[in-house]
Amino acid sequence: MKTRTNPYKYITMKRERFATMLAGAVVLAGSVLMACTTTPQQPAEQQEQTNQVIETIMARRSVRKYKDQPVEREKLEQLMTCGINAPSGMNKQPWEVRVVDNAEYINGITELFKAANPKQAEDPNFKNMFRNAPAVIFIASPADGSGQLDCGLLGENILLAAQSMGLGTCCLGGPIGFMKNNPEAAPYVERLQLSADYQLLYAIAVGYPDEAPEAKPRDAAKVKFVD
């Protein structure tokens, strides 16, 4: 005599197996999702790493002594890329930048400077009028006075980028005054090929530093929070 199969028991067993398989699938999917979205735990030393931008800002100094070593063109090009990516009002980019690493140019105008400033030339460590730097970045802005803020932002980008690359820099105003006011220096200004409505604003000496100056005091009292 054949035993009848209980259809309700069979259905119940199938439901239980299906529920078990479904639960397993949910667990597996959750594990995969967590693996894709969870950030791996970083080592403690990486979590405590100093912010490199802040470190560069705080380490930057004005360097006035440079090694007799040229700056690679690749590095100068990188500085220019960083410079022209500075913010500017309405993206007008009101600047013209000229990079000079030509010793003939630097030494030539230095001879004019020495003739006009013989006492400075008496210094045995004096090599050129740009703090002896092997490269000079000339920055010009519109002659009507606009664009000076933007040119300042461009220069700061260059200074910080140079610091991060192991280079020293110094912003220079004196040499620019000499170049603009000394008629004999006019041919050197002309060689920069600036637009007619632009004039030199300042220069940045660039080179490998031969000194490590200490930070100058800063007056934090000039900063106030307004509630």
**pLDDT confidence bin for 120, thresholds 50/70/90:** confident
Closest listed residue to residue 209, CA positions, set 129, 153, 131: 131
Mean pLDDT of 188-213: 98
Catalogue all structural domains in the chain, each as residue range(s) with its CATH number: 62-207 (3.40.109.10)
Instruction: Give the distance between the most distant pair of CA atoms in the chain.
Output: 129
pLDDT at 12 over 50: no
In terms of pTM, does the model score above 0.75? yes
**Of the ranges 15-19, 57-61, 135-139, 196-200, which one carries the lowest mean pLDDT score?**
15-19
Render pLDDT for 51-93 as a digit per residue (tens, 0 to 9): 999 999 999 999 999 999 999 999 999 999 999 999 999 999 9
